Amino acid sequence: MTTHELPIESYSASRRLGMPRPLGKTAERVFFGGMAMLLCIVVFVGFFRTFFGAGFIEAPLPNPLLRVHGIVFTAWMLLFLTQAALISARRVAWHRTLGIVAFCLPPLMIVLGVIAAIDALGRNVTIGALDPATSLALPLVNVTAFAIVIAAAWKARRRPDAHKRLVVLGTVSLSTAALGRFPWAGMGIPPAAGPVIALAALILAVVAYDVLSLRRVHRSTMWAAPVVFAAGAFAVPLGMTSAWHSLAQLLTRVVR
């Protein structure tokens, strides 16, 4: 039971104790719809130079695989935004029907994400000042976090309160790739710190909404938020270890 479903006695008790009234359905729709829009903007800005602004279909990418990868991940973001809009419009039946289609994408996204990451390693692609092996950790670790959280979201599809939080947090984990491509240095922020700060802000927005709407952190947020943050914040330190570099060398030999 969410706080906006609590009996009237709970509201009266809250007022007697001087506690703020829980947020209602309108605030819920605004928040989750706003998060969907924000994450779409983050992805658009992050990949504007190399993909969206370069012509989308005509973008000069190294191989067709990356084009398919970009199209599939873009489809997820658009479906994510559409699903939030359907809930805001109270089209729950349409939302559930489209959800069946939307959840056909994550398995394909995970496979494409892994293949694209290994392909980038074979081409010695770097992210910022990181070497190719360390750069590999960012997509692989974060796509793993996405897989864990989005699988839980599918399992919780009949529990809307958990489902929507997990979908948002799973999509936040995908946004780390875009955040890593922001011009942080031009904004006066160290490139190594910018993505982590932005990731933390996105996650804290979900936590703050929970506190305001439930006066506690939702159970799903409580475990998924640390998973997503750890994947984004500790991927680079993991990628710098000798064990990870050994794995990267092995994958390089496989690719070549």
Give me the average pLDDT of each 10-residue run along the chain (256 residues).
Answer: 42 44 77 95 92 82 88 94 88 85 91 92 82 91 96 93 96 92 88 91 97 95 97 93 93 78
Shortest CA distance to 210 belongs to which of 147, 240, 168, 238? Answer: 168
pLDDT at residue number 175: 92
- Asked whether residue 155 is domain-assigned, the answer is yes
Shortest CA distance to 56 belongs to which of 46, 75, 70? Answer: 70
- Asked whether residue 64 is domain-assigned, the answer is yes
- Asked whether residue 18 is domain-assigned, the answer is no
CA pair distance 196, 192, nearest whole angstrom: 7
- Can you give the residue range of the structural domain that contains 250? 23-255
- Asked whether residue 3 is domain-assigned, the answer is no
CA pair distance 91, 85, nearest whole angstrom: 9
pLDDT at residue number 256: 67
pLDDT at residue number 64: 87
For the chain, the domain total comes to 1
3-class secondary structure, 61: coil
- Asked whether residue 44 is domain-assigned, the answer is yes
As to burial, measured by CB atoms within 10 angstroms (0-12 exposed, 13-18 middle, 19+ buried), residue 64 is exposed
- Asked whether residue 6 is domain-assigned, the answer is no
pLDDT at residue number 210: 96
pLDDT at residue number 18: 44
